[in-house]
């Protein structure tokens, strides 16, 4: 039997003997076998590794398989789960399947049945799955459908020399995606020059962009290449492009259209070959309406637009990101306690991934042992866990909430004359989230 490609199976069982037996059987069938001896360890491992299959015992010291399934559903874990139960407890397996389990095994485990499950949930998926992006660098983690769409778009954009405009709230990872566009493009060995336009002195911004000749202004004691020249043959990333002064915008537009620049104080034009990626957290259409941003520059920058959804719209990514950031932070802290994970998933993360990174780094410093507890998290995050999730007792069940959301989106679309951008803005969600929901509802997006 040929091994599955990039396949990982997680075994969650407190019986060390059974884990050892399954590990020996699975080691020849899949690429990796992870083990956990309790519910908390299993949930943490599932969030970190996103295994292709989870084998879950129904009886463990810190809870039941049913509790694992409920927590997995709350946290957006999408790995298929097969429960392992004694023959006399098949009723539990039926209840487990109501909670999302895809199948069950009875003890003693029939290895032929196990192999059928591997074919169904691991090997078949590996054989049919088409990679939608190149391998991700270490530290970049996602599991949500929204971010899968984003990475697929980044992959497509990287193959084209067209300018790319990344939009999204602060802290969503626009600079990370700019680096991927460079890495996956046709000039990865060329320079990547990143510029935060808000950090440039107003009096020197033109010189910073295009360079200057000696004597061009007081203090210019030598010739200096600007960002365009330094990025030639590679990628120029202009962050916070929405804050670019209006007086510089025509010169940037001309450089993009002609591929030529002139240093400040110089006479000769210089050819530059730059792949431009820009990013902003501003609504550039609103900036255009207010007269602060040029329409022609906007369309030149946004040949390929990619919107990055905020972290609150892709809660499935919170725990995988948090575990990855915790591992990168080092120290003794290696795991989040279940109560801490509840706090992380309950918080809205207005600062997005940047805020999550800062919170995890703080917790890694404060945690004295091998577990991060709620008290190690920032007060706002800790308090969110005390308040509980949005689906607390007394609130509408998920199916009713989904119907309410559907009606709200369709009503907003009707009010906005079908304009999806305006409807998303009125609802306070990203356009990408709105389009994703419309596809779920079977509405043409």
Position 5 scores a pLDDT of 42
**pTM > 0.85:** no
Tell me the per-residue pLDDT of 36-83, one tens digit each, with 9 for 90 and over: 999 999 998 888 878 889 999 988 888 888 999 988 877 777 788 999
Q: What is the pLDDT of residues 5-32, one digit of tens each?
A: 457 899 999 988 888 899 888 887 887 8
Q: What is the pLDDT of residue 217?
A: 85
CATH no. for 145-307: 3.40.50.300
Chosen CATH of 312-387 out of 1.10.3720.10, 2.40.50.140, 3.40.50.970, 1.10.8.60? 1.10.8.60
**Structure confidence at residue 118 as a pLDDT band (50, 70, 90):** confident
Give the model's confidence band at 125: pLDDT under 50 very low, under 70 low, under 90 confident, else very high.
Answer: low
Query: What is the mean predicted confidence (pLDDT) over 408-436?
Result: 83
Cα separation, 176 vs 174, whole angstroms: 5
In contact, 83 and 65? CB cutoff 8 Å: yes
**Domain at 398-440, CATH class:** mainly alpha
Q: What is the pLDDT of residue 11?
A: 94
Angle at 11 between CA 7 and CA 12, to 5 degrees: 145
Contact between 180 and 188 (Cβ < 8 Å): no
**Mean of pLDDT over the chain:** 84
Q: CA torsion, points 113, 86, 32, 334, in degrees to nearest 10?
A: 160
Beta bridge partners of 224: 212
* Residues 192-224: tens digit of each pLDDT: 999 999 888 877 888 999 999 988 888 888 888
Kindly state the helix (H) or strand (E) to which residue 155 belongs, with its residue range.
helix 145-158
CATH 1.10.10.60 positions along the chain are 398-440
- Residue 34's CB is within 10 A of a number of other CB atoms, namely 18
Put residue 428 in one of left, alpha, beta given phi > 0 → left and psi -120 to 50 → alpha: left
Q: Where in the chain is the domain with CATH 3.40.50.2300?
A: 8-128
Phi, psi of 63 (to 5 degrees): 155, -175
**pLDDT higher at 68 or 106:** 68
- Mean pLDDT within 373-380: 94
354-364 confidence digits (pLDDT tens): 999 999 999 99
CA dihedral 134, 135, 137, 139 (to 10 degrees): 120
d(C-alpha 170, C-alpha 241), whole Å: 13
Identify the H or E element spanning 278: strand 274-280
Task: Please state at what angle helix 318-329 crosses helix 39-49, rounded to 10 degrees.
Answer: 90
Average confidence (pLDDT) over 243-251: 92
Q: Rounded to the nearest 5 degrees, what angle is found at the Cα of 425, between the Cα atoms of 419 and 430?
A: 100
Alpha-carbon separation of residue 182 from 189, 272, 349 (angstroms) = 9, 17, 28
Banded model confidence at residue 389, pLDDT cuts 50, 70, 90: very low
Query: Predicted confidence band at 89 (pLDDT cuts at 50, 70, 90)?
Result: low
* Confidence grade of residue 3 (pLDDT, cut at 50, 70, 90): very low
Of the two residues 383 and 138, the one the predictor is more confident about is 383
**Contact, 262 vs 269, CB < 8 A?**
yes
Inter-residue contact 331 to 364 (CB < 8 Å) = yes
State how beta strands 260-261 and 270-271 pair: antiparallel
Q: Which of 433, 377, 353 is nearest to 140 (CA)?
A: 353
123 pLDDT more than 80: no
Ranges of CATH 3.40.50.300 domains, the chain: 145-307
Say whether pLDDT at 140 is over 90.
Answer: no
- Report the alpha-carbon distance of residue 340 to residue 116 in Å, rounded: 37
Q: Is the pLDDT of residue 149 over 80?
A: yes
E strands in 281-396? 304-307, 335-336, 371-372
- CA distance linking residue 276 with residue 239, whole number of Å: 11
Homologous superfamily in CATH for domain 8-128: Response regulator (3.40.50.2300)
Which residues neighbour 369 within 8 Å (Cβ) at sequence distance 6 or greater?
A: 332, 333
């Amino acid at each position: 039997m040929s091994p599955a490609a990039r396949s990982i199976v997680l075994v969650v069982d407190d019986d060390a003997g059974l884990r050892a037996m399954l590990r020996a059987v699975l080691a020849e069938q899949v690429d990796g076998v992870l083990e956990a001896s309790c519910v908390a360890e299993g949930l943490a491992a599932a969030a970190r590794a996103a295994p292709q299959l989870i084998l879950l015992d129904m009886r463990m010291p810190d809870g039941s398989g049913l509790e694992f399934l409920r927590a997995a559903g709350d946290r957006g874990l999408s790995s298929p789960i097969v429960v392992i139960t004694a023959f006399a407890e098949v009723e539990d397996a039926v209840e487990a399947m109501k909670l999302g389990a895809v199948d069950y095994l009875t003890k003693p485990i029939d290895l032929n049945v196990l192999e059928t499950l591997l074919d169904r949930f691991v090997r078949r998926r590996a054989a049919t799955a088409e990679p939608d992006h190149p391998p991700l660098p270490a530290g970049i983690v996602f599991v949500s459908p929204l971010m899968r769409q984003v990475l697929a778009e980044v992959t497509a954009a990287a193959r084209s020399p067209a300018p790319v405009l990344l939009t999204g709230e602060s802290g969503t990872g626009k600079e990370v995606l700019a680096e991927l566009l460079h890495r996956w493009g046709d000039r990865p060995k060329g320079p990547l020059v990143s510029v935060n336009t808000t950090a440039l002195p107003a009096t020197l911004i033109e010189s910073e962009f295009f360079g200057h000749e000696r004597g061009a202004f007081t203090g210019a004691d030598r010739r200096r290449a600007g960002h365009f020249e330094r990025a030639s043959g590679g990628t120029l990333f202009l962050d916070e492009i929405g804050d670019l002064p209006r007086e510089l915008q025509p010169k940037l537009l001309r450089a993009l259209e002609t591929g030529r620049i002139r240093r400040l104080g110089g006479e000769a034009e210089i050819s530059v070959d730059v792949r431009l990626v820009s990013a902003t957290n501003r609504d550039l259409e609103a900036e255009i309406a207010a007269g602060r941003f040029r329409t022609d520059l906007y369309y030149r920058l946004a040949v390929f637009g990619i919107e990055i959804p905020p972290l609150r719209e892709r809660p499935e990514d919170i725990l995988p990101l948090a575990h990855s950031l915790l591992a990168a932070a080092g120290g003794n802290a290696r795991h989040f306690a279940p109560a801490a994970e509840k706090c992380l998933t309950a918080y809205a993360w207005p600062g997005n991934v940047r805020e999550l990174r800062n919170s995890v780094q703080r917790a890694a410093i404060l945690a004295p042992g091998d577990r991060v507890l709620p008290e190690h998290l920032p007060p706002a995050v800790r308090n969110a866990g005390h308040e509980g999730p949005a689906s607390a007792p007394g609130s509408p069940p998920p199916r009713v909430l989904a119907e309410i959301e559907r009606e709200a989106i369709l009503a907003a679309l009707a009010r906005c004359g079908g304009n999806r951008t305006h409807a998303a803005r009125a609802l306070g969600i990203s356009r990408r989230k709105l389009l994703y929901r419309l596809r779920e509802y079977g509405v043409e997006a």
